[in-house]
């Protein structure tokens, strides 16, 4: 199939798939002639991409045309739709047309339905930060693919450090790979703590400060995280995961469930021993407070994705969140 559509928020895995496709279809000796990358800022980007895809390749190998960050499945004018209908079925086997987007395809659009008919569509989704079991599995698989041996505690420490950031995961595993060298024993938690900065822990401290309604500490932690170049979206992902876990634990307790195993299973907590601490953390907060906080965090995530200045957005929502959890409202 000469047409591919890759989309999703896992930019690292998506880029790896692009690189793999490029290596597979292009002859390295003819790459300068047969590889075109078209940014979304280029006028008539999709039309240019379609025209390039219809052009036979030079020399050996195929032609690859990449429409980067296209919005054709979010907004598509009638004239562009007509051109897609005319061209997509006619793209020759000697060309590969690749479209990528961070955003979800709008299934209501005719352009989306057309591409789903002619293209191989593949999603590259980030693992939700609260799905600890999947994150642990991702670390194990990535470490195995790189030949990095880890103890179970080391795997858990890496998850605590990188969360669901795939790019950071591979960067940190490369660091551990260089440290360990070949034929070394499994890397333990102490070495991981020494080599990998655990910004996720600082984001969890931020969640704790919000839960306690401590505005000054909350703002101080936000400033520290941003000054260390911690991506705002990763901070928010950790907060959403933690508040979601607190909500599940609180709901289970209010339903009369005291089994740590049952609570861990419902809240998707990989280590049931964590439940004891979580039960203490939610003791003095209410379900209503948690249900009020989560939509604010989701609004913050959306605004950051839309390009809002991170520090201002984080500070504004953090103040509102602290007001929800201020001791006077418990």
Cα 129–130–136 angle (5° rounding)? 75
DSSP three-state, residue 37: strand
Residue 125 near residue 31, CB atoms below 8 Å: no
State residue 100 phi and psi, 5-degree precision: -130, 150
For residues 221 and 325, state if they share a domain. Answer: yes
Distance between CA atoms of 295 and 298, rounded to whole angstroms?
Answer: 5
For residues 45 and 138, state if they share a domain. Answer: no
For residues 109 and 143, state if they share a domain. Answer: no
What local confidence, expressed as pLDDT, does residue 198 receive? 63
For residues 105 and 9, state if they share a domain. Answer: yes
What local confidence, expressed as pLDDT, does residue 240 receive? 93
Q: Which of 123, 140, 169 is the last residue of a domain?
A: 123
CATH number of the domain that residue 105 is part of: 3.40.50.300
* Closest among 218, 213, 235, 205 to 285, alpha carbons compared: 213
For residues 155 and 257, state if they share a domain. Answer: no
Question: What does the block give as tokens for 48?
Answer: 């240019």
Q: Which of 175, 195, 215 is the last residue of a domain?
A: 195
For residues 185 and 208, state if they share a domain. Answer: no
pTM of the model: 0.69
User: Residue 128: left (phi > 0), alpha (psi -120 to 50), or beta?
Assistant: beta
DSSP 3-state percent helix, strand, coil across the chain (nearest 5): 60, 10, 30
Residue 216 near residue 182, CB atoms below 8 Å: no
Q: Which of 98, 123, 148 is the last residue of a domain?
A: 123
Question: What does the block give as tokens for 174?
Answer: 């490369």
Burial class of residue 37 (count of CB atoms within 10 Å of its CB; 0-12, 13-18, 19+): middle
Distance between CA atoms of 230 and 168, rounded to whole angstroms?
Answer: 11
What local confidence, expressed as pLDDT, does residue 48 receive? 94
For residues 65 and 111, state if they share a domain. Answer: yes
Q: Quote the number of domains for the chain.
A: 3
Distance between CA atoms of 59 and 219, rounded to whole angstroms?
Answer: 59
Structural domain for 163, as ranges: 132-195
Distance between CA atoms of 174 and 161, rounded to whole angstroms?
Answer: 15
CB 198: neighbour CB atoms within 10 A?
Answer: 15
For 7, the enclosing helix (H) or strand (E) is strand 3-7
For residues 249 and 312, state if they share a domain. Answer: yes
Per-residue burial over 117-138, b if 16 or more Cβ lie within 10 Å, else e, is: ebbebeebebbebbebeebbeb
E-strand ranges in 31-190 read 35-38, 63-67, 95-101, 120-123
Rounded (10°) CA dihedral 261, 264, 268, 271: -90
Q: Which residues of the chain have pLDDT under 50?
A: none
CB 219: neighbour CB atoms within 10 A?
Answer: 18
- Per-residue pLDDT tens over the stretch 245-295: 999 999 999 888 878 888 888 888 777 778 888 898 998 999 999 999 999
């Amino acid at each position: 199939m000469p047409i591919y559509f890759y989309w999703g928020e896992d930019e690292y895995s998506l880029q790896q798939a692009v690189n793999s496709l490029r290596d597979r279809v292009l002859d390295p000796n003819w790459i300068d002639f047969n590889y075109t990358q078209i940014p979304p800022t280029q006028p008539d980007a999709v039309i240019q991409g379609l025209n390039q895809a219809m052009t036979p390749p030079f020399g050996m190998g195929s032609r690859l045309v990449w429409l980067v960050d296209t919005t054709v499945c979010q907004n598509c004018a009638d004239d562009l739709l007509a051109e897609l209908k005319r061209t997509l079925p006619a793209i020759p086997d000697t060309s590969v047309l690749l479209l990528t987007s961070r955003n979800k395809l709008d299934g209501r659009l005719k352009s989306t339905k057309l591409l789903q008919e002619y293209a191989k569509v593949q999603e590259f989704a980030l693992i939700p930060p609260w799905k600890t079991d999947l994150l642990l599995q991702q670390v194990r698989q990535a470490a195995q693919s790189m030949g990095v041996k880890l103890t179970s505690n080391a795997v858990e420490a890496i998850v605590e450090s990188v969360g669901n950031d795939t790019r950071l995961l591979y960067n940190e595993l490369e660091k551990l790979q260089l440290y360990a060298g070949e034929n070394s024993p499994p890397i333990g938690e102490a070495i991981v703590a020494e080599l990998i900065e655990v910004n996720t822990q600082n984001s969890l401290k931020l969640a704790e400060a919000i839960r306690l309604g401590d505005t000054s500490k909350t703002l101080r932690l936000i400033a520290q995280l941003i000054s260390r170049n911690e991506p705002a979206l990763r901070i928010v992902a950790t907060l959403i995961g933690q508040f979601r876990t607190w909500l599940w634990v609180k709901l289970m307790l209010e339903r009369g469930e005291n089994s740590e195993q049952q609570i861990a299973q419902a809240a998707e907590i990989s280590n049931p021993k964590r439940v004891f601490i979580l039960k203490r953390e939610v003791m003095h907060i209410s379900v209503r407070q948690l249900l009020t906080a989560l939509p604010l965090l989701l609004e913050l995530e959306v605004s950051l994705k839309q390009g809002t200045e991170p520090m201002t957005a984080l500070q504004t929502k953090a103040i509102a969140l602290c007001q929800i959890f201020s001791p006077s409202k418990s």
